[in-house]
A and B are shown apart, each in its own frame.
Chain A
Amino acid sequence: MGDVDFIKNVLVAMPYAAKLGVTAQLDDAGRLFCSMPFHENHIGNAQLPALHGGSLASFLEITAILQLAREQAAVQQVDSIEAGRAAIPLPVNVTVQYLRSARALACHAEARVLKVGRRTSTVFCQLWQDDEAKPVTSMTGVFIQPKS
């Protein structure tokens, strides 16, 4: 199963990602970027308006899970849709920093797996809007693999 198919399958297995409209793209170098379009439903403060901290944290967690599942799959040679679904990592904890107010714009994120361990894995993830050099939110998450 190719990388693109695998990512698609993991996204499909996560209905909440579809609810938020999260999509994933691979660039020529094989880097995974996720996007979440602006939608009224993602707003936390309608007067500003600013996106809800929960929308941002959810998007970051989805991005981290996709990147980690992808790297785990490369190690464990996941070769079917079912195995891909079973490979969705479980979060142990996430720590989220809100660096700037998130405006009524699309969000983009990229995750970096800091360590893939046999027991736990640690992923760092950053979110930006119109300027990649100005991160809006960042997250560090610890995940475990589900028991197979």
Chain B
Amino acid sequence: MSDSDLKFPDLPGIDITPVFQDSRSPMGQNIGLVYMGFGDKRICTGLKWHESLVGNAETDVLHGGVVTAMIDETAGGASVLATEHKFSVATVDLRVDYMRPAAPRQNLYCMAHIYRLTERIAFFNAQAFNEDPAKPIAVGTGTFMLGANASVPDILGGPFKVQEDG
């Protein structure tokens, strides 16, 4: 295993089932997003640093838009996972606070959690970090509209089998 391989850090006190599966959305694949774990209304993802994702060639730091895209997809996946019918979701809004610059040339990880689910809306929070989940690069919060359309996303195929409750 080389240093650049993705390895999702432990999240203290949070039970995550590890998986390793490329994103099924074209944009997710475009930025190299990998699903790395799931838990109760949670999804974990990772992406490798790549020069094409850089926001400033002088610093080699990932563009803020990459972080936002990662948070959007991770939280969207968590929204689908959290619902029973598994229909597609659509982002209503999201806010991302960039807490500190991402470390240059470092892989990025993200964990999104649905903290409130209503009939039509999922409320999420998400953190993106390099190695230490306690020191997030960015924190995201926002909402998804559930059952936005009748299409069914297949992120829950493969290892993302619907979890049996209780």
Interface residues of A (CB under 8 A from B): 12-19, 40-48, 50-55, 57-59, 61-62, 85-86, 88, 90-98, 101
* 8 residue pairs, one from A and one from B, having the closest CB atoms: A54-B69, A58-B65, A52-B27, A47-B151, A16-B63, A53-B91, A41-B30, A43-B26
Complex: how many Å from CA A131 to CA B5?
Answer: 44
Complex: how many Å from CA A59 to CA B66?
Answer: 10
Question: Which of chain B's residues has its CB closest to A100's CB?
Answer: B90
Are B90 and A98 interface neighbours, CB within 8 A? Answer: yes
Give the contacting residue for A52; candidates B26, B56, B101; CB below 8 A. Answer: B26
Are A15 and B30 interface neighbours, CB within 8 A? Answer: no
Interface string of B83-114 (1 = CB under 8 A from A): 00000101111111110010000000000000
Complex: how many Å from CA A17 to CA B94?
Answer: 21
Give the contacting residue for A54; candidates B27, B57, B92; CB below 8 A. Answer: B27
Question: Which of chain B's residues has its CB closest to A13's CB?
Answer: B57
Chain A hits for B95, CB < 8 A? 93-96
Are A41 and B26 interface neighbours, CB within 8 A? Answer: yes
Complex: how many Å from CA A41 to CA B53?
Answer: 14
Are B65 and A57 interface neighbours, CB within 8 A? Answer: yes
Chain B hits for A62, CB < 8 A? 63, 65
Complex: how many Å from CA A69 to CA B93?
Answer: 25
Give the contacting residue for B72; candidates A48, A53, A88; CB below 8 A. Answer: A53
Interface string of B61-80 (1 = CB under 8 A from A): 01111101111110010000
The interface size of chain B toward A, counting residues with CB under 8 Å, comes to 43
Complex: how many Å from CA A13 to CA B59?
Answer: 10
Interface residues of B in 123-140 (CB under 8 A from A): none
Most buried by A among B58, B88, B98: B98
Question: Which of chain A's residues has its CB closest to B68's CB?
Answer: A57
Quick check: is B25 within 8 A (CB to CB) of the other chain? Answer: yes
Give the contacting residue for B26; candidates A40, A61, A86; CB below 8 A. Answer: A40
Give the contacting residue for A53; candidates B62, B76, B98; CB below 8 A. Answer: B76
Chain B hits for A88, CB < 8 A? 55-56
Q: Looking at the assembled complex, report how far the CB atom of B137 sits from the nearest CB atom of chain A, in whole angstroms.
A: 11
Chain B hits for A96, CB < 8 A? 68, 91, 93-95
Q: Looking at the assembled complex, report how far the CB atom of B50 sits from the nearest CB atom of chain A, in whole angstroms.
A: 9
Are B56 and A61 interface neighbours, CB within 8 A? Answer: no
Chain B hits for A52, CB < 8 A? 25-28, 69, 72-73
Are B27 and A41 interface neighbours, CB within 8 A? Answer: yes
Quick check: is B15 within 8 A (CB to CB) of the other chain? Answer: no
Chain A hits for B118, CB < 8 A? none
Complex: how many Å from CA A17 to CA B53?
Answer: 8
Quick check: is B51 within 8 A (CB to CB) of the other chain? Answer: yes
Are A48 and B149 interface neighbours, CB within 8 A? Answer: yes
Chain B hits for A58, CB < 8 A? 63, 65-66, 68-69
Are A15 and B58 CB-contacts (below 8 A) given A55-B27, A58-B69, A94-B95?
no
